[in-house]
Amino acid sequence: MTESFEPKIVGFLCRWCSYAGADLAGTNRMKYPSNISSIRVNCSGRIDPNLVMKALALGADGVLIAGCHPGDCHYTNGNIKTLRRFKLLQKMLDQFGIERERVRLEWISAAEGEKYAQVARSMTEQVRSLGPLNWQRKVELTA
Amino acid sequence: MKTVTINPITRLEGHGKISIFLNDQGNVDNAYFQVPELRGFEKFCEGRAVEEMPDITSRICGVCPEAHHIASTKALDAVFHVEAPPAAKKLRELLYSAFFVADHITHFYILGGPDFVVGPKAPKSERNILGVIAKVGMDVGTSVIQHRSDALQVIATIGGKRIHPSCGVPGGVSKTITEEERTKIETIARSEVEFAQYTLKLFDEVVLKNQEYAGLIKSDVYSSKTYYMGTVDDQNRVNFYDGKIRVVDPEGREFAKFQASDYQQHISEHVEPWTYLKFPYLTKIGWRGLVGGKDSGIYKATPLARLNVAEGMATPSAETEYKRMFEMLGGKPVHSTLATHWARLIELLYASERMLELSKDPDITNTNVRNIPTHTPDEGVGAVEAPRGTLIHHYKTDPAGLVRAVNLIVATTNNHAAISMSIKRAAEGVIKNGEVSDGILNMVEMAFRAYDPCYACATHTLPGQMPLEVKIYSKDGAVLRNIRRP
Amino acid sequence: MTKSKVAFNWASSCGGCEIAIFELGTKLVELSNKIEIVFWPAIMDYKYSDLEAMPDGNIDVAFMNGAIQNSENEHVAKLLRAKSKLLVAFGTCAYMGGIPALANTTTRDEIFANSYKETPTTVNPEKTLPQTKVQAKEGELTIPEFYNTVKTLDQVVNVDYYVPGCPPVGEQVGKVITQLVDGPLPPKGTVLGASDRSLCYECKRVRNERRIGKIIRTHQTIPDTQKCLLEQGIICMGPATRGGCSAVCLDANMPCRGCYGPLPKAIDQGGKMLSALSSIFDAQSEEEIEKIAGEVVDPIGTFYRFSMAKSLMRRTKK
């Protein structure tokens, strides 16, 4: 029943930009759903594809990776590495049968509180309409 | 009604079980040879990059990986419409000959041979290579191990690894050999020829000159008349690497001769519910059940089949042995299952002589071993003779070279029907009045061991459980009752 | 001195790991002074009934190779576990699923339909399918149930040690057997017979700056025989794969496909390689990145060639 389904989304947010942007959304009391559990990392480049897959395998219905806009990365080009990993991961997740809307990469600066709120709203609704992923259960059931 | 089960069958590659049903008198009512294993290669290779197929399909079998690797590589040549330079073909065939040497040695001394060297009813703990060594001596044991190892070394020289070598590419091979490597291979090849000759002599003394074994070979218990299939060169001589597929009827007359790419017109596969393995048969004759003879499409593809199908061997010493075998067994074709062991050793000699020939070819160290394909990949068939029978790889790809469909006709699969028949025949012959012992059951197993089956190969496909349909068959294979549950 | 009792068994396997034991050569005969092989279906005539008749813990060390793909594989794995003091997942299939685990990219039903109905040479108008139980005229015939998802050995029983490799390399096998028979035993769960460092350390090729502008597939080029393949744009799993095999595939000018499995701290081999590969793409803009990522034609089949059953995701969604 999609009405009562509350998606669990893990958000990996980079401390210099996206996490600050998320903070801003909070302090400005913008309205957005609370489905994203945020994890602060120093740089979106820290995000190993294994972390994304681990989140999905352990029960997340979606994963958001958010970093600085290209050119603004505190570590110069960590976010470009993120983009490279993400594009290839996306292609592989297609093969796993995981819908593209479930794993997103967004550039959100420290000033973009509203953007963070928008992403949180749209992603929550998209994942809600896709339904729960329940990955581990699916693997067990199809054994 | 009593059931006797042999589970698992042993001294072969792969899994299997034999279910024997005895009637009230203790004689065999029927015996079923069941293959319980499968992997799913034909399906899970869809979506893979086609150039990876030689490496992936190599893992269909770790005893005969080279068979799949080279059949796959030849299929790639066809898929990409590219031809390998002559030196590459020779390197492929050199690797292939060394592989046949290793594999046939393995079968004779480790898998099937112990039944003859130690005895079919010897205690279980002795019916194996360690028992063979205890009987014929450590020197022979060391020699077996050494010759196997040397053959694998040749494989590694050309293909990198000793087990699951990786050198097959469309249009050639990935590695050349140096003059130093060539010299080593030539030395090994000479030694293999001698060892093959020694092994044939050993077979002569231990098996042919033993009344009991010679009797077994000629006996009706281990015999069936079927069609035979093998690959031959343009002079109708046995060739493992390339040629046309030839089929002869139970009287030895040519029934068909075709290019591997036309295999679909000649081979069909039948399904039974009590085994995961399918039963290939000759399309033009048809499936008549598990019976032999000219009106049944069942055929064998084994070393004996290859020798039955051919008109000779392409190397001199092997040719002499070939003639000798058919003379001693009363002409062609030979239907005796256990004679397959003999045919295998003649092939061992041919493979080692061929290895020597190729290692002395000056072209073998040529550095031009690859033509890069330029054609868009689409579809192709590659075939070889695996030690256990004709092997066909058929791939279809999309224009980017990703696999769309795979069909494999695998060596041992060809023999599934023949093996099933041989097992039943042997069981009927050796089990009487309810007397069943470990030794007697081993004699039933000897009926399949002659084929040197490879069930990892045969069971590349994977079906599953549909527990809602039960068919009851009469002994002619007609369906008596069909029970379905919704 | 009593001999140690040793057993070898196979599940969904190609047989290469049995052949690997023969790589010990004459050492195998020497070893037979210390060990008594009590079960080895490939080479000896002991049957399941012999295994069942043994007391629990009778076997000192059992080596099981092959992935768990059907109910017989699982049953025998549990039987062997009960009868053995130590159980070793021998070879890549038992350790990570191996090539059979590529079946996790499809389903039993799809494979079923393909094999028994769709392949061009199959003639099956009645749509007969193999059954786990068949009532033949003379009696009941059974065959194991096939699993939709291939598992590793440790996903069905407790495993003491792992020996990676497809198959494990000869010299390593001898050392492992001797170590487990003689002792002292390493900590439970240790990966034996392999290096703790990546294959790159054993590879003889010369490495400089790795930056890939374009991915080249193995059939599209004749690579330089001295230079790192990854530098030449050919995907090589070396950086994400344990050493121990001496990089012999590279000697044949073919890339590593990762059969020795992930490095000690990696929780998923495929993800690690995906990360490593994409981090050396020489691409800055989104367009350039999309283009080069698109050149990896089969990510799942490349990165999880041997390790699908042990991966985080375990299988594709169907």
Residue B202, amino acid: L
Provide, as residue numbers in chain B, all residues whose Cβ is less than 8 Å from the Cβ of C251: 160, 175
Nearest CA distance, C236 vs chain B (angstrom): 13
CA-only gyration radius of chain C, Å: 22
Provide, as residue numbers in chain B, all residues whose Cβ is less than 8 Å from the Cβ of C166: 59, 164
pLDDT by residue (tens digit) across C82-127?
999 999 999 999 999 999 999 999 999 999 899 999 999 999 999 9
pLDDT by residue (tens digit) across A115-132?
999 999 999 999 999 999
| Assigned domain for B129 exists | yes
Provide, as residue numbers in chain C, all residues whose Cβ is less than 8 Å from the Cβ of A96: 300, 313, 316-317
CA atoms within 13 A on the CB side of B24: 0
| Assigned domain for B483 exists | no
**Which position has the higher pLDDT, C1 or C247?**
C247
Which residue among B61, B62, B461 sits closest to C115, beta carbon to beta carbon?
A: B461
Whether residues C281 and A84 touch (CB distance < 8 A) is answered with yes
Please report which confidence band the pLDDT of residue B486 belongs to, taking 50, 70 and 90 as the band edges.
very low
Provide, as residue numbers in chain B, all residues whose Cβ is less than 8 Å from the Cβ of C68: none
Q: Within chain C, how many helices (H) and strands (E) appear?
A: 11, 9
Least confident of B367-381, B431-445, B456-470: B456-470
Separation CA B125–CA B119 (nearest Å)? 12
CATH node for A9-141: 3.40.50
Whether residues C119 and B42 touch (CB distance < 8 A) is answered with yes
Whether residues A84 and C279 touch (CB distance < 8 A) is answered with yes
Residue of C nearest to B23 (CA): C138
Cβ proximity of C173 and C20 under 8 Å: yes
Separation CA C115–CA B40 (nearest Å)? 8
Q: Which of the other chains make 3 or more beta carbon contacts under 8 angstroms with chain B?
A: C
Which residue among C270, C278, C286 sits closest to A85, beta carbon to beta carbon?
A: C278
Task: Say whether the ipTM exceeds 0.90.
Answer: yes
Provide, as residue numbers in chain C, all residues whose Cβ is less than 8 Å from the Cβ of A88: 274, 277-278, 293, 296, 299
End-to-end CA distance of chain A: 25
- Name the DSSP class of C83: H
pLDDT value at residue B464: 31
Mutation target among A85, A93, A100 for the C interface, most CBs of C within 10 A: A85
Positive or negative, the Cα torsion across B88, B93, B94, B98?
positive
Q: Is A133 helix (H, G, I), strand (E, B) or coil?
A: coil
Please report which confidence band the pLDDT of residue A65 belongs to, taking 50, 70 and 90 as the band edges.
very high
Instruction: Say yes or no to pLDDT of B288 above 70.
Output: yes
- Cβ-proximal residues to A93 (8 Å cutoff; 6+ apart), any chain: A100, A102, A103
Whether residues C111 and B461 touch (CB distance < 8 A) is answered with yes
Give the angle subtended at the CA of C129 by the CAs of C123 and C130, to the nearest 5°: 120
Cβ proximity of B73 and B82 under 8 Å: no
* Residue matched to tokens 């460092």: C197
Question: What's the helix, strand, coil split of chain A in %, to 5?
Answer: 50, 15, 35
Q: Count CB-CB contacts under 10 A for residue C197.
A: 13
Whether residues B145 and C26 touch (CB distance < 8 A) is answered with yes
- Arithmetic mean of pLDDT, C65-83: 96
- Cβ-proximal residues to B407 (8 Å cutoff; 6+ apart), any chain: B42, B392, B394, C119, C120, C121
Nearest CA distance, C303 vs chain B (angstrom): 12
Whether residues A88 and C278 touch (CB distance < 8 A) is answered with yes
Region class of B441: left (phi > 0), else alpha (psi between -120 and 50), else beta: alpha
Domains and CATH numbers, chain C: 4-99+150-182 (3.40.50.700), 108-147 (no CATH), 199-310 (no CATH)
Which residue among C274, C275, C317 sits closest to A96, beta carbon to beta carbon?
A: C317
Provide, as residue numbers in chain C, all residues whose Cβ is less than 8 Å from the Cβ of A97: 316-318
Whether residues A91 and C293 touch (CB distance < 8 A) is answered with yes
Kindly state the tokens that stand for A3: 């009405």
Instruction: Say yes or no to pLDDT of B380 above 80.
Output: yes
Instruction: Say yes or no to pLDDT of B473 above 60.
Output: no
Cβ proximity of B321 and B350 under 8 Å: no
Whether residues B407 and C120 touch (CB distance < 8 A) is answered with yes
* Residue matched to tokens 């023949």: B418
CA-only gyration radius of chain A, Å: 15
Find, among B155, B449, B100, B68, the residue nearest to C42 by Cα. B449
Domain that holds residue B168: 83-223+336-370
Kindly state the tokens that stand for B126: 């002795």
Kindly state the tokens that stand for A17: 């930009």
Cβ proximity of B339 and B203 under 8 Å: no
Nearest CA distance, A50 vs chain C (angstrom): 5
> What percent of chain B shows pLDDT beyond 70?
95
Please report which confidence band the pLDDT of residue B462 belongs to, taking 50, 70 and 90 as the band edges.
very low
Instruction: Say yes or no to pLDDT of B475 above 70.
Output: no
Which residue among C278, C290, C315 sits closest to A142, beta carbon to beta carbon?
A: C315
Burial-class residue B193 by CB neighbours within 10 Å (0-12, 13-18, 19+).
buried
Helix (H) / strand (E) element for A40: namely strand A36-41
Q: What is the mean pLDDT of chain C?
A: 95
Omega into B333 within 30° of 0, i.e. cis? yes
C278 lies within 8 A of chain A by CB = yes
Instruction: Say yes or no to pLDDT of B403 above 50.
Output: yes
Q: How many domains does chain B have?
A: 1
| Assigned domain for B251 exists | no
Residue of A nearest to C106 (CA): A96
Phi–psi pair at A107, nearest 5 degrees: -100, 115
Q: What is the CATH number of the domain that holds B218?
A: 1.10.645.10
Give the angle subtended at the CA of C140 by the CAs of C137 and C144, to the nearest 5°: 135
| Assigned domain for B49 exists | no
- Cβ-proximal residues to C113 (8 Å cutoff; 6+ apart), any chain: none
